């Protein structure tokens, strides 16, 4: 797992440090504190970007939800898996769980 500083995240997003700090304080961007240094996991930054994508449409939201469920069930193999396969697995799992 790779961690980034507030400066690195600010540079990556092309914003200033204050904006990154506000995102962290609001809980929109997850960070940890190591001694006095604030660090952001690369995965947290990727999640933030994905959740705040302007181009995210209904299909992507369904895919994101499906992916979350698949991860929870321990059946997610990665981003290349077909959407139909994910949906089928969710439908199959519904018989084993209450929603």
pLDDT digits (tens, 9 = 90+) for 62-73: 556 666 666 666
| Residue 16 sits in the same domain as residue 40 | yes
| Residue 41 sits in the same domain as residue 11 | yes
pLDDT grade, residue 99 (50/70/90)? very low
Question: Into how many domains does the chain fold?
Answer: 2
Q: How far apart are CA 27 and CA 43, in angstroms?
A: 15
Residue 83 forms part of a structural domain: yes
Q: Which residue has the higher pLDDT, 82 or 33?
A: 33
Residue 99 forms part of a structural domain: no
Q: pLDDT tens digit string along 44-56? A: 999 888 888 776 5
Q: Which domain holds residue 77?
A: 58-94
| Residue 80 sits in the same domain as residue 43 | no
User: Rounded mean pLDDT of 70-87?
Assistant: 60
Q: pLDDT tens digit string along 16-45? A: 999 999 999 999 999 999 999 999 999 999
| Residue 62 sits in the same domain as residue 31 | no
Residues 6+ apart with CB under 8 A from 19: 10, 13
């Amino acid at each position: 797992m790779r961690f980034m500083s507030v400066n690195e995240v600010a540079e990556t997003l092309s914003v200033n440090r204050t904006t990154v700090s506000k995102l962290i304080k609001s809980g929109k961007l997850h960070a940890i504190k190591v001694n006095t240094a604030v660090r952001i996991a690369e995965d947290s930054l990727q999640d933030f970007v994905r959740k705040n994508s302007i181009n995210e449409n209904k299909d992507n939201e369904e895919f994101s939800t499906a992916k979350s469920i698949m991860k929870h069930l321990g059946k997610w193999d990665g981003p290349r898996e077909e959407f139909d396969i994910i949906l089928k697995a969710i439908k199959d799992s519904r018989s084993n769980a209450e929603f």
